[in-house]
Structure 1
């Protein structure tokens, strides 16, 4: 009769073999670094295919191009943290472009009056969203969707659907005599030392401030707690209504900041501006879930997600890829990054 050494069996069961450890290590690396790995591969691949891609000027232009998306994505991230979602963020940015242009062209405001006015406009829209969601109990998607449609129509009324530029003829037949303040235009066009654009600096500042707020303060912990379990957070003594209101006000103000950057860059109030900002900002925020395997909204992840998408689109453009294939390639690469993070990385742990 064969006997079994129980102690040996327990040691064998408790101690996993080296292959299991290696698989778990590989899985952890894939989960934590999938986005960074693909970003590095894209940089190398595009740099080899087109050496001009890795020129410092081009890389700064990539960051400048994604700065608005990253700023708006940071606002989306804050609303996701409290368990909400802001569909109006693209419309707020587009309306802010029109508002800033109208203030300078029609009302003849300077930059120092226009910027605070537009930021206050965005914050007010965020507050209205919060009232609808928190006080009137309207579901966040419905409330912000309604706001999106309202703003999309409202921004066209003052100019009868025309874009705003110097010499604009108003609906009453009068002609606007104002012009864009040169100081305002510096926000979108000036580069420190000829290298670092102001918009990139604003993007970095927003990311750092929100990172500290959400990851290093009690308010940040309460924001995530509200999104995780609103009832428990309320029972713990926190005002979830105020936290949600704060999140939507921040989202609205950041959307207006993005609109200011766009207006300063193009130098006119374009009625078509902001068309793709919502989806790009949401994509950046959701890609952020996969960064470092955090699997939750996080501002630095959103910044990485925006840069990821910007590098991909810039590289495809420099390689003269047909415009109608770019969305497909972008989607395929994003699916690959998320599959590595959520699928293959987990399977290697087994």
Structure 2
């Protein structure tokens, strides 16, 4: 009978090792796919791996990653912010209006736009926490409100130097060169400032959400709000904090876009909502966490950025990009929730 027991033990050990290997592959699947894409695109187009192109990818996804980090915080408390794209677009218009029409400089413009984003976050929190409006409905209403509001001061026109105002006068302001440095300058001529801002936001929010008591309470609120409240957690304040962070980061994204293009374009931010949400949801699959996390969101943004940049360098039709992003998102969600269901 001893050999039978040995065979059973060996089988059990083999099963355990196989399960460990599968779990490791699940946790690292996004990184494996990312590395595979980098290698594949480099073989097909050697210029892909050029440092300037890699920095260009990071710069392109920096705004999406910043907005996605805000979405991640609202997801942590069990909410969802649909207004971030509109807040970012309004931030672009507000920054341009403050400098072109009001004639203020960068040191006044940046704080004012960030305060605007925080105020929108507070308004969302008031609707959701105090008036008990479902988060999707509240932030959807805010999205429509801001989409219309940003067009009123200029009668629907984009903002640039020499803008003709609705009263017939001409704006005399210009973009502050210091403001433009936010979107156009690089550290040591290599690392773009937007990439540094993205990294700073990611590090601060990662520490906040993963290494502090506030972060634990944010996830506890999203997991079981009633239990967290009964345990003494200030759930209303935590939800308000999440939406204020989201609004502020969306406004920061708007500042980066305005500084990069040097124009208050009424169509800016059109795709930012979907791209940032996609990054946040792809992040669920990173490291097999199956929950919102800032690190995963940044990786998700980079993943999509690498994919789209590589396809562009290979001259893939532009109209296939949305399909590719959708396919990647579906695959990430299937990897996340399909694996969880299999394990159960």
- Which aligned pairs between 1:318-333 and structure 2 lie closer than 5 A? 318-333=313-328
| Cα distance, 1:8 vs structure 2 | 8.2
- Out of 138, 143, 147, the residue aligned to residue 138 of structure 2 is 143
The separation in 2 between residues aligned to 1:206 and 1:344, in whole angstroms, is: 30
- What are the ranges of 5 or more consecutive residues in structure 1 without an aligned counterpart? none
What does residue range 239-258 of structure 1 map to in structure 2 within 5 Å? 239-258=234-253
Give, in whole Å, the separation in 1 of the partners of 2:339 and 2:291. 19
Equivalent residue for 1:289, pick from 274, 278, 284: 284
Contact 1:96–1:259, Cα closer than 8 Å, also in 2: yes
Match of 2:108 in 1: 113
Instruction: Point out which structure has higher relative CO (alpha carbons under 8 A, 6+ apart).
Output: 1
Cα distance, 1:9 vs. partner?
7.4
CA distance in 2, matches of 1:304, 1:105: 36
Normalised by the size of structure 1, how large is the TM-score?
Answer: 0.94
| Within-5 A mapping of 1:47-62 | 47-62=42-57
Over alpha carbons, which structure has the higher Rg? 1
Q: Counterparts of 2:330 and 2:271 in 1: how far apart (Å)?
A: 20
**Structure 1: distance between partners of 2:242 and 2:335:** 31
> Where does the alignment leave 5 or more consecutive residues of structure 2 unmatched?
none
Give the alignment partner of residue 20 of structure 1, picking from 15, 18, 23: 15
Give 1:36's aligned residue: 31
Deviation at 1:341, TM superposition (A): 4.7
Contact 1:284/1:309 (<8 A) preserved: yes
- How many residue pairs get matched? 344
Please give the alpha-carbon distance, in whole angstroms, between the structure 1 residues aligned to 2:326 and 2:82: 21
Q: Aligned equivalents of 1:95 and 1:120: distance in 2? A: 12
CA displacement at 1:12 relative to structure 2: 6.3
Which shows bigger deviation, 323-332 or 128-137?
Answer: 323-332
The equivalent residue for 2:79 is: 84
2: CA distance, partners of 1:296 / 1:344: 13
Superposition deviation, residue 238 in structure 1: 1.2
Bigger mean CA offset, 255-264 vs 318-327:
318-327
CA distance in 1, matches of 2:29, 2:277: 19
Q: 1:311 to 1:137 in 2, by over 3 A?
A: same
Shift of 1:296: 0.5
The alpha carbon displacement at 1:15 in A equals 6.2
SS in 2 for 1:175: coil
Q: Deviations over 1:114-162 (max 9, x none)?
A: 0000000000000000000000000000000000000000000000000
1:85-234 correspondence runs (5 A): 85-234=80-229
